[in-house]
């Protein structure tokens, strides 16, 4: 018996050390960049700790000192880059630091099933083909009316929630999700999804259920588990298929009556359908790109809305100044009956634009992304040796708060740092972006294509929500980014708020 126990212990020790040696031991290269211990990724499994505390304690210091670190994520060691000059090099040399999304990195995963091969994760000819269809549909001018109407419906929902809550706070995340889904569906995809009229729109519930499944930290960190025939993962795969098919049906149904001008149209919904119908894309390419435009088109804006409201609630004097700016513009508008000024006039609100950029800077919706792979051995910044095949990513949260670029108050909310006229705010934005110091929309050839829509949507949203309500944080809400007592180190650190604030609105 004792011999058996001894043998078992020996076998376990052997197994553990082989796993450690094969997967968990940091790679030798690059020599001059430290490794964040692999167990840091496991802390949220064992301890109730906020993700910003983990970042500050274990990652921020070495990342800032060395400009990059080795980080264990997605069952492998990656290089996480912070220094703006390194980032510019990565953005510029797409041929060396090639996009390689989950469909390449972990093709067997549920996450890869969900997003597939799409415009964000692909490269080369496939990317050019996806871009030729999607870009014109995202870079057209957008009309104010639909967004204004949706924002007004959102206000109605907030007022109802407010009545129900009495003096308590209102958790607005679900309402903002319904609002951003409605905006994305109607304005970007020209599709009817009545999420503001009903809280039971199946596709919305399905999307939330899918996201809960795919971003479970255990599967994000150890995607090998997706190879096991676990009943929960089978359910998740079925949900993914159902979601994609429902999204396609909604798009098709909304276009059945209307004449579809195909690739001549500047409307994204019609262009996506035409790409499939003309066989430019296979059905799978259509479903993957439809999914990614829907997810990126609604989730990133929604996260930004939460950050903006959170920061305005924490800085009531900025909220007052913004309200003054909105009221002045409204008073100056020629047509006083119009619910909102035209798009061009909305752009000419310097404080509002600065509030949006400053919120994006402090809480970028995509806080960390590791989706590039070195195509050959290379020297990053002439200093860091990156062996071929290494995954390279960036931590936007960290770069956007770099004290060397933004000064000692880098972590503070100071919209005035962007300037006080529309011209200076825009100039500042372009400069910071060109220097790789503000990378919330990424940079270079692969920068976000939805920026124009996102900025427009934020302006309308702020105009209506700040014009109509006064926002403050519910004193009962604990100020942190991760849900209390729940594991939440998921797709990346700091994907804004996974424990969304609860607000009091007056
Ligand atoms: C606040 C809102 C948004 C932020 C912060 C944001 C951020 C980003 C970032 C960081 C990337 C680069 C990803 C990478 O490094 O691989 C990206 C790419 C992209 N985004 Fe956005 N995004 C936002 C809104 C949107 C919206 C509304 C859409 C509309 C569908 C959209 C569509 C895209 C597309 C198509 C790409 C791929 C561009 C390419 O590789 O050619 N984004 N976005």
Which is the closest atom of ligand 1 to the Cα of 130?
41
Q: How confident is the model at residue 262 (pLDDT cuts 50, 70, 90)?
A: confident
Q: Rounded to the nearest whole angstrom, what is the distance from the C-alpha of residue 119 to the centroid of ligand 1?
A: 10
- Ligand 1: centre distance to CA 364 (Å): 11
Q: Compute the distance between CA of residue 318 and CA of residue 168 in angstroms, rounded to an integer.
A: 24
pLDDT value, residue 398: 94
Residue 449 Cα to ligand 1 middle (Å): 6
Q: What is the mean pLDDT of the chain?
A: 88
What are 343-394's pLDDT values in tens digits?
888 999 999 999 999 999 999 999 889 999 999 999 999 999 999 999 999 9
Residue-wise pLDDT for 286-296, tens only, equals 999 999 999 99
Alpha helices (runs of H) in 338-419, residue ranges in sequence order: 343-347, 350-362, 396-399, 403-406
Report the distance separating Cα 358 and Cα 37, nearest Å. Answer: 32
- Ligand 1 midpoint to CA 229 (Å): 33
What digits encode the pLDDT tens for the residues 10-31? 666 666 565 555 556 788 778 8
Give DSSP secondary structure letters for 420-488: SSHHHHHHHHHHHHHTTS--TT--GGG--SSHHHHHHHHHHHHHHHHHH--EEE-TTS---SS-TTS--
Q: Tell me which residue has its CA closest to atom 43 in ligand 1.
A: 448
Instruction: Output the CA–CA distances (angstroms, integers) from residue 303 to 39, 185, 239, in the order listed.
Output: 28, 17, 23
CB contact burial 381-418 (16+ within 10 A = b; e otherwise): eeebebeeebbbbbbbbbbbbbeebbeeebeebbbebb
The Cα 182–Cα 358 span in angstroms is 25
**Residue range 112-138: average pLDDT?**
95
Neighbours of 235 (CB within 10 A): 13
Cross-strand bridge partners of residue 80: 69, 393
pLDDT value, residue 396: 93
Q: Whose CA is nearest to atom 17 of ligand 1?
A: 448
pLDDT value, residue 259: 58
**Top mutation candidate among 301, 450, 453 for ligand 1, by most atoms within 8 Å of CB:** 450
The answer to whether the beta carbons of residues 468 and 498 sit under 8 Å apart is no
Which atom of ligand 1 is the closest one to the Cα of 184? 27
Residue 97, strand partner residues? 374
**β strands within 221-322, DSSP E:** none
| pLDDT over 80 at 256, yes or no | no
**Cβ–Cβ under 8 Å, residues 400 and 440:** yes
> Using CA of residue 120, residue 122, residue 123, residue 129, what is the dihedral sign?
negative
Q: Cβ(90) to ligand 1 under 6 A?
A: no
pLDDT at 372: 95
The residue ranking higher by pLDDT, 179 or 255, is 179
Specify the pLDDT at position 19. 57
Judged against a pLDDT cut of 80, whether residue 475 lies above it is answered with yes
Please tell me the distance from the alpha carbon of residue 261 to that of residue 280, in angstroms, as a whole number.
15
User: Half-sphere exposure (CA, 13 Å, Cβ side) for 479?
Assistant: 8
How confident is the model over 165-203, as pLDDT tens digits?
A: 888 888 898 999 999 999 999 999 999 899 999 998 998
Is 433's C-beta closer than 6 angstroms to any atom of ligand 1? no
Q: Is 442 in the pocket of ligand 1 (CB under 6 A)?
A: yes
Q: Is the CB of 296 under 6 A from ligand 1?
A: yes
Q: What is the pLDDT of residue 294?
A: 96
**Residue 263, Cβ density class (10 Å: 0-12 exposed, 13-18 middle, ≥19 buried):** middle
CA distance linking residue 353 with residue 115, whole number of Å: 31
What are 85's strand-pairing partners? none
Return the ligand 1 atom nearest residue 366 CA: 10
Instruction: Give 168 or 488, the one with higher predicted confidence.
Output: 168
Task: Using DSSP bridges, classify how beta strands 378-380 and 384-386 pair: parallel, antiparallel or unpaired.
Answer: antiparallel
CA of 296 to the centre of ligand 1 (A): 6
Ligand 1: nearest atom to the Cα of 372: 16
How confident is the model at residue 498, as a pLDDT?
A: 64
Residue 31: per-residue pLDDT: 85
Is pLDDT above 60 for 337?
no
396 annotated as ligand-binding: no
492 CB within 6 A, ligand 1:
no
Confidence of residue 8 (pLDDT cuts 50, 70, 90): confident
Poorest-pLDDT segment among 282-291, 407-416, 467-476: 467-476
Does the Cβ of 131 fall within 6 Å of ligand 1?
yes
Look at 21 and 449; give whichever has higher pLDDT.
449
Is the model's pLDDT at 484 over the cut of 60?
A: no
Each residue's pLDDT tens digit, 21-70: 555 678 877 888 999 998 887 787 777 778 788 888 999 999 999 999 99
Q: Is 359 in the pocket of ligand 1 (CB under 6 A)?
A: no
pLDDT of residue 222: 78
pLDDT, tens digit, 9 for 90 and up, residues 140-158:
999 899 999 999 999 999 9
Lowest mean pLDDT among 44-48, 84-88, 315-319: 44-48
Q: What is the dihedral of CA 486, 489, 495, 501, to 10 degrees?
A: 20
Tell the burial category of 104 from Cβ atoms under 10 Å away from its Cβ (0-12, 13-18, 19+).
middle
Neighbour-count burial for 192-205, b at 16+ CB within 10 Å, e otherwise:
ebebbeeeebebbe
Does residue 272 carry a pLDDT above 90?
yes
Q: Which domains does the chain have, with CATH numbers?
A: 23-505 (1.10.630.10)
What is the reported pLDDT for 73?
84
**Mean pLDDT, to the nearest integer, of 251-255?**
92
pLDDT for residue 198: 93
Whole-number percent of the chain with pLDDT over 90: 64
């Amino acid at each position: 018996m004792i011999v058996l126990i001894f043998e078992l212990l020996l076998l376990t020790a052997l197994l553990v050390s082989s796993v450690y040696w094969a997967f968990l031991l940091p790679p030798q290269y690059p020599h001059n960049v430290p490794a964040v211990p692999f167990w840091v990724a496991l802390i949220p499994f064992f301890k109730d700790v906020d993700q910003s505390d983990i970042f500050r304690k274990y990652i921020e210091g070495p990342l800032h000192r060395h400009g990059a670190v080795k980080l264990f994520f997605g069952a492998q060691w990656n290089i996480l880059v912070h220094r703006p000059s390194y980032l510019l090099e990565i953005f510029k040399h797409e041929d060396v630091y090639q996009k390689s999304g989950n469909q390449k990195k972990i093709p067997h995963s549920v996450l890869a099933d969900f997003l597939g091969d799409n415009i964000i994760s692909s490269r080369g000819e496939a990317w050019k083909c996806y871009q030729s269809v999607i870009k014109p549909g995202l870079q057209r001018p957008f009309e104010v009316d639909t967004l204004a109407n949706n924002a007004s419906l959102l206000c109605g929902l907030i007022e109802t929630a407010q009545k129900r809550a009495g003096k308590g706070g209102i958790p607005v995340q679900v309402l903002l999700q319904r609002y951003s889904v409605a905006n994305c569906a109607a304005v970007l995809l020209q599709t009817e999804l009545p999420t503001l009229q009903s809280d039971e729109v199946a596709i919305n519930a399905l999307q939330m259920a899918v996201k809960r499944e795919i971003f479970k930290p255990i599967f994000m960190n150890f995607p090998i588990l997706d190879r096991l025939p676990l009943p929960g993962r089978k359910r998740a795969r079925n949900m993914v298929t159902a979601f994609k098919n429902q999204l396609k049906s909604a798009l098709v149904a909304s276009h059945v009556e209307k004449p579809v001008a195909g690739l001549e149209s500047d409307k994204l919904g019609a262009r996506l359908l035409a790409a499939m119908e003309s066989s430019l894309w296979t059905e799978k390419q259509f479903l993957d790109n439809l999914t990614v435009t829907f997810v990126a088109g609604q989730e990133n804006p929604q996260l930004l809305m939460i950050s903006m409201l959170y920061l305005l609630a924490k800085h009531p004097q900025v909220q007052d100044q913004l309200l003054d700016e909105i009221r002045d513009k409204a008073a100056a508008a020629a047509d006083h009956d119009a619910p909102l000024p035209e798009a061009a006039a909305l752009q000419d609100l310097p404080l509002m634009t600065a509030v949006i950029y400053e919120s994006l800077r402090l809480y970028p919706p995509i806080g960390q992304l590791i989706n590039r792979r070195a195509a050959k051995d290379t020297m990053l910044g002439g200093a860091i040796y990156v062996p071929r095949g290494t995954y390279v990513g960036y931590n936007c949260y960290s770069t956007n708060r770099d004290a060397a670029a933004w000064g000692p108050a880098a972590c503070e909310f100071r919209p005035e740092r962007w300037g006080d006229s529309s011209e200076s705010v825009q100039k500042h934005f372009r400069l910071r972006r060109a220097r790789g110091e503000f990378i919330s929309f990424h940079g270079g050839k692969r920068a976000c294509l939805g920026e124009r829509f996102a900025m427009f949507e934020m302006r309308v949203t702020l105009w209506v929500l700040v014009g109509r309500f006064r926002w403050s944080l519910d004193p009962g809400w604990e100020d942190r980014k991760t849900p209390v007592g729940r594991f939440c180190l998921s797709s990346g650190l700091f994907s804004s708020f996974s424990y969304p604030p609860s607000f009091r609105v007056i």
